[in-house]
Amino acid sequence: MVTHATSNSSAASGLRPIDSMRDLVGVTTLIELAFADDMDANGRSHMREMRWLGTLFGWLDWFSSPGQGLMPGYLWVEDGQIVGNVTVRKLSPFGRGWMIGNVAVAPPWRGRGIARQMMEAGIELVRHNHGEWIALQVRTDNEIARKLYQTLGFVETGERVSFDRRPIDQTMRPAPLTEPRVRPARASDMEQIYTLAQSLVPDSVRWAEPVYRSLFDVSFERGLADRITGERHVWRVFEGGEHLYGAALLEIKSRRRWAQLHLWVMPLHTGEIEDVLIDSVLAGYDRPLDHIIARVPGEHIAGRVALTTRGFRQVRALMSMKLTLSE
């Protein structure tokens, strides 16, 4: 059993649960410090939103079950200063899966076993609430953290690699392609593409990379909604007879001036059609963009190479890990 520090003294040291009303500013400051090298403008904006939400809604945690509040989890405090944080959250109200996130320790306090004790407390919380499994993501190049999680029983289940390309201008668009097997997607293609996308995400990592059916909607109503919101969806598929060998989507957020590129390729055709799919979907946008992001599985080497040779740079690689709890 992990000993908790008392939470009614500002000078208390050790482990204690997070109090969103009191701790949220300190936690966000710690996260910004601990993940300074990874945090982009969107991440910093999210931290500002968390501070605002904590001030406004922190009292709601008083009415939440463990693991379901605004910021559930634990802190490590030294002389009243927050130096460590781990988030422990239930993935869905009725499921048995939990997620551990934001395992953060301030740089001067690393290497003292704080992360391990916070993790052990998080695992204990999940066991107490009859959780069946816990998942997390960690940077692939963070060997120290990966080894820690492995010693706690977590196993690696899959890697996702994130890419970014900026700046974006019209001169960077590929010329329209003449490949006859590549064409815009039709409404009748969506079920096949959705099935392909689902098959490429193993159950063990679907908690981190859910495949939402709404993404594969090309109906008139979706087009109308896109015009209202300023979004646009550029689809291209590679067909072979009655089957689709792969598909690409450029999901454009015009009002925010960025886009996300999605790529799905049947395993039998990896290394054959990534280039043409990416080029064809990039040739389809016609609005100013500041950057384009993309994520592909770590094992999809051909997709990673195709993105890199088209001006994308690798931003980070995240390894998913899972701990199955025995009753």
For 184-216, write each residue's pLDDT tens digit.
999 999 999 999 999 999 888 888 888 999 999
Judged against a pLDDT cut of 70, whether residue 221 lies above it is answered with yes
Across the chain, the runs of DSSP E, i.e. the strands, are 14-17, 73-78, 81-90, 97-105, 133-139, 155-165, 182-183, 231-240, 243-253, 258-265, 291-297, 313-324
Looking at residue 1, what is its pLDDT? 43
Using pLDDT thresholds of 50, 70 and 90, give the confidence band for residue 270. very high
Mean pLDDT value across the chain: 84
Looking at residue 253, what is its pLDDT? 85
Portion of the chain with pLDDT greater than 90, in percent: 53
Q: Of 166-170, 179-183, 254-258, 322-326, which gets the smallest average pLDDT?
A: 166-170
CATH number 3.40.630.30 is the correct assignment for the domain at 14-131:
yes
Q: How many residues does the chain have?
A: 327
Distances (CA, A) of 69 to 21, 72, 75: 11, 5, 15
| Token output for 132 | 């069946």
At 28-61, the pLDDT tens digits run 778 777 665 665 555 555 555 555 555 555 545 5
Place of tokens 């690699």: 161
Between 239 and 61, the higher pLDDT residue: 239
Q: Cα angle at 5 between 71 and 79, to 5 degrees?
A: 90
* CATH (residue range 162-319): 3.40.630.30
Q: What is the mean pLDDT of residues 109-115?
A: 93
130 phi, psi to nearest 5 deg = 65, 35
Measured between alpha carbons, how far is 305 from 292 in angstroms, rounded to an integer?
Answer: 16
At 75-109, the pLDDT tens digits run 999 988 889 999 998 888 888 899 998 899 998 99
3-state class (DSSP) for residue 210: coil
Looking at residue 205, what is its pLDDT? 85
Looking at residue 183, what is its pLDDT? 94
- Please give the radius of gyration of the chain, using alpha carbons only, rounded to the nearest integer: 22
Q: Of 52-66, 219-233, 256-270, which gets the smallest average pLDDT?
A: 52-66
What's the CA dihedral at 140, 144, 145, 149 to 10 degrees? 110
Distances (CA, A) of 201 to 45, 157, 297: 29, 11, 8
| Token output for 192 | 């096949």
Looking at residue 125, what is its pLDDT? 92
Judged against a pLDDT cut of 50, whether residue 3 lies above it is answered with no
Portion of the chain with pLDDT greater than 70, in percent: 81
Q: Do domains 14-131 and 162-319 have the same CATH topology?
A: yes
Domain ranges of the chain: 14-131, 162-319
- The DSSP string of 138-168 is EETT-HHHHHHHHHTT-EEEEEEEEEEE-S-
Judged against a pLDDT cut of 90, whether residue 132 lies above it is answered with yes
| Token output for 179 | 């490949």
Q: What is the mean pLDDT of residues 236-258?
A: 90
Using pLDDT thresholds of 50, 70 and 90, give the confidence band for residue 2. very low
First to last CA, the chain: 17
Looking at residue 261, what is its pLDDT? 97
The secondary element (H helix, E strand) that includes residue 272 is: none
Using pLDDT thresholds of 50, 70 and 90, give the confidence band for residue 176. low
Looking at residue 7, what is its pLDDT? 39
Judged against a pLDDT cut of 70, whether residue 65 lies above it is answered with no
Looking at residue 127, what is its pLDDT? 93
Measured between alpha carbons, how far is 82 from 105 in angstroms, rounded to an integer?
Answer: 9
Looking at residue 5, what is its pLDDT? 42
Using pLDDT thresholds of 50, 70 and 90, give the confidence band for residue 250. very high
Using pLDDT thresholds of 50, 70 and 90, give the confidence band for residue 227. confident
